[in-house]
Structure 1
Amino acid sequence: MRLPLVTVLGECVADAFTVPAPVLAPTPTPMPTSGELALRVLPGGGPANTAVALARLGTPARFLARLSDDVFGRLFRGHLEASGVDLTAAVRAPEPSTLAVAELDGRGQAAYSFHARGTADWQWTAGELAAVDLASTACLHSGSLALVCEPGGTVVEEFLARASATATVSVDPNVRPLLVPPAVYRERLPRWCALADILRLSEDDLELLLPGHTIERACDAWHAAGVPLVVITRGKRGAVASLNGERIAVPAPPTDVVDTVGAGDSFTAGLLHHLGTRGLLGGRLTDLRVDDVFDACTFASRVAALTCGVAGPNPPWAGQLRLPATAAGRTIGGNGDWNGG
């Protein structure tokens, strides 16, 4: 069965981790000497991670990105193409790539510092996106920094509005308060809800966007703004989904966590992939039922859990989802938190 095309729009970021670190796999990189800091760089960025996860699961995934020709841009292209992501509509950008330096805590959760001023990801023009054909796109997914960083953020938002006429629109705010003040997300989020059919965010995002709100109150506010399906991931406590006010809780598989980098992006990919396999993408989700949401979130939770079992944003391939957890190369059976995104 040929699954529907999902187009992903957003950034591809070089995720740099300090080396050595106990949560990373062994590496041949020499130990840094006094006064040095060694970094291990992996291709990342929320939208890019989602595109990779979709393609590895078997969903045709096209990535709309502005990719530099620098050393990181070449790393991105190789990683995306090796995972089966369609880059035919990606823009070759003259600006440098975005770099994020991640520090991992004892639970494998990452805190980032960004080096993003004037980089390629945020320079979208109306002309670049006007050339994109959406005729075959069943779902457009975007979010994260691409929707809030100017000068391209406004252009990307206008592109979502065009896509919403024919495709299911999915948004993941993925709030990064060290780079963009949460107030910017709060101001724009009602417009995104008016355009989107799916809003996926973490519990940490919720607290930054609507401080002090319960999940129920937040979901009601976002439904009132126009989005029918809201999914909030809660780490080892699983996820809560609300379909036009009808709420369900989905447990998370117990997981021995290496790190949580890219787990939220993998959850989003699993959600969209499962909905696509059921023929539910391509419109305003009018045929979606709460049982469909539960099944999709359950599948997405396993995709996220497997991502947590390895270092960095390295989502599983479809074949690994068909194997027992240990045979898939991950150990299931501890406690973990994949609230990160």
Structure 2
Amino acid sequence: MARSGSPGSITVLGECVADIFQNPAQSGPDGLSLRAMPGGGPANTAVALARLGTPTRFLGRFSNDVFGTLFRTRLHASGVDLTGSVTACEPSTLAVADLDAAGQAAYTFYADGAADWQWTDRELAEASKSDAVCLHTGSLALIRHPGGSRIEDYLAQAREHATVSIDPNVRPLLVPPSAYRDRLTRWCAVADILRLSEDDCALLAPGASLEEACDTWHAAGTHLVVITLGGRGALVSLDGLRVTVPAPPVVVVDTVGAGDAFTAGLLHRLEALGHLGSRLDEIALEDVTDACTFAAHVAALTCSVPGANPPWADESALRISTE
């Protein structure tokens, strides 16, 4: 049953990452010119949600270095509530991006001992007071030690009152895919929504078709599985009822943050339709299709600009898409 009333808030828990890009025009044999842009899958999702108009809180561990200041500034400027976040002495996580001719990014990570993975039980307990209708997490914060297992426990508690959304966002350069596969069944048992990319599926369910993978994750407990397919749109599976949502045409500058923007668009639209705060066991495929169509548009707009820079709700192209 859809929930009615004032808009509910969404909490996002996870990491911030400094995405480092080369500036070829200012680089030469004497050195590289680099530009640092605030990123990280969960932080990108929180920014996109807030810009779309959803009340959003981000739970993160911010280093006291220059990158930590950059992260806080970006989130605050986008309207994200940082209540419950932690200021930490450990360094920020860095990801050096190498873009190919199609704008696809490959990353080299500098993440050992970073602030993002050091959640303590006490920190999470102090952050747990929330009336959010949804908790979204995933990516590296959910898999890396020592904080990942503590976040799993936090999800189990949050599930008592909120829809749980997870994006595994597999990073094989940092964590073996087998580690994700070992824990994915546990995540599906608490997740109402699993949003992942086609590349993630290849690593998490090797040899299986996308449909077979969806059915496996449904059987483990997740009602809604959404697999983004890049320029081909997204495969939506609601307890085995499936539809493919097309991606709108766009001139791609790069794909950085596109999946995170899709997740934000999906959650934003599900909240607008009154479905968050539930187990999604009574939602209709029509509403899920509507939400994923909106999400694909938000992702396309993000691909049309450099970096993870999702659109604001008052942008004309976004307004047209919701009419």
TM-score, normalized by length of structure 2? Answer: 0.96
- Out of 9, 12, 31, the residue aligned to residue 8 of structure 1 is 12
Question: Which residue of structure 1 lines up, in the alignment, with residue 206 of structure 2?
Answer: 211
Structure 2 Cα separation of the partners of residues 114 and 215 of structure 1: 28
Is 1:81 aligned to residue 76 of structure 2?
yes
- Structure 1 residue 279 displacement after superposition: 0.8
Q: CA deviation at 1:3?
A: 1.6
Correspondence for 1:186: 181
SS of the aligned residue for 1:186 comes to helix
> Percent of counterpart pairs with the same letter?
65
* Structure 1 residue 83 displacement after superposition: 0.3
Unaligned runs of 5+ residues in structure 2 are none
1:278 lines up with 2:282 in the alignment: no
What SS class does the counterpart of residue 96 from structure 1 fall into? Answer: coil
Partners in 2 of 1:115 and 1:162 — Cα distance? 31
| In 1, Cα distance between equivalents of 2:32 and 2:200 | 31
Distance (Å, rounded) in 2 between the aligned partners of 1:64 and 1:205: 24
Give the Cα–Cα distance (whole angstroms) in 1 for the partners of residues 225 and 248 of structure 2. Answer: 21
| 1:8-65 deviation per Cα after TM superposition (whole angstroms, max 9, x unaligned) | 00000000001126xxxxxxxxx22314122110000000000000000000010000
Match of 2:254 in 1: 259
Matches of 2:262 and 2:72 in 1, distance apart? 23
- Code of the aligned partner of 1:319: D
Counting only pairs closer than 5 Å after superposition, residues 247-326 of structure 1 correspond to structure 2 as: 247-320=242-315, 321-323=317-319
Cα distance, 1:323 vs structure 2: 4.4
State the Cα deviation string for residues 75-106 of structure 1 (Å, max 9, x = none).
00110000000011110111110000000000
Contact 1:274 1:296 (8 Å CA) reproduced: yes
Partner of 1:238: 233
Contact 2:17-2:93 within 8 A present in 1 as well: yes
User: What's the CA shift string for 1:238-258, capped at 9, x where partnerless?
Assistant: 101110110111010011100
In the alignment of these two chains, the number of paired residues is 316
Q: Distance in 1 between matches of 2:294 and 2:138?
A: 22
Cα RMSD of the aligned pairs, angstroms, is 1.2
> What amino acid is aligned across from residue 175 of structure 2 in structure 1?
V
**C-alpha contact 1:134 1:163 (8 A) present in aligned 2:** no
Matched, 1:56 2:61: no
Is residue 298–residue 318 contact of structure 2 (8 Å, CA) maintained in 1? no
Q: Is the 8 A contact 1:123 1:151 kept in 2?
A: yes
Q: 1:324: Cα distance to partner?
A: 5.3
Write the distance in 1 (CA, Å) between the matches of 2:314 and 2:222: 33
Residue 221 of structure 2 corresponds to 226
> 1:131 is matched by which residue type in structure 2?
E
The 10-residue stretch of structure 1 (262-271 or 32-41) with the greater mean CA deviation from structure 2:
32-41
